[in-house]
Amino acid sequence: MAYAIGNKSKAMCDICGRKFSYQHLREDWRGLKVCAVDFDSRHPQTERNAKTSDAIALRNARPDKDVDGTADWDDLDQLADIFTMHFGNDGLP
């Protein structure tokens, strides 16, 4: 659709309500048609960057067997289980 230029038209500012030339009004970041006095550019801090959170999670992480935090690494039975699991023997002489 073709629109008229509006060089002889009048329009009201959406902020102050005064009448101006249609071409004098500008659209601000909120979509309001405003005069030069009421024109407000958007503050850069209101524009969020596509910033993601810090990477914390590990890829293919394995759960800790010591969920309750009570494991005692001096416990030879537990060490023997770990050696057996990884090396096929208990690692003890």
Number of residues that bind Zn ion (CB under 5 A): 5
How near is the Cβ of 6 to Zn ion at its closest, in Å?
17
DSSP annotation of 45 reads G
Q: Which structure tokens are listed for 22?
A: 């249609």
Asked if 80 interacts with Zn ion (CB under 5 A), we say: no
Which residues in 12-31 contact Zn ion (CB under 5 A)?
A: 13, 15-16
Residue nearest to Zn ion (CB): 13
Distances from the Cα of 71 to the Cαs of 4, 21, 65, in angstroms? 80, 79, 9
Sequence letter at residue 75: D
Judged by the rule CB under 5 A, the positions of this chain that interact with Zn ion are: 13, 15-16, 35, 38
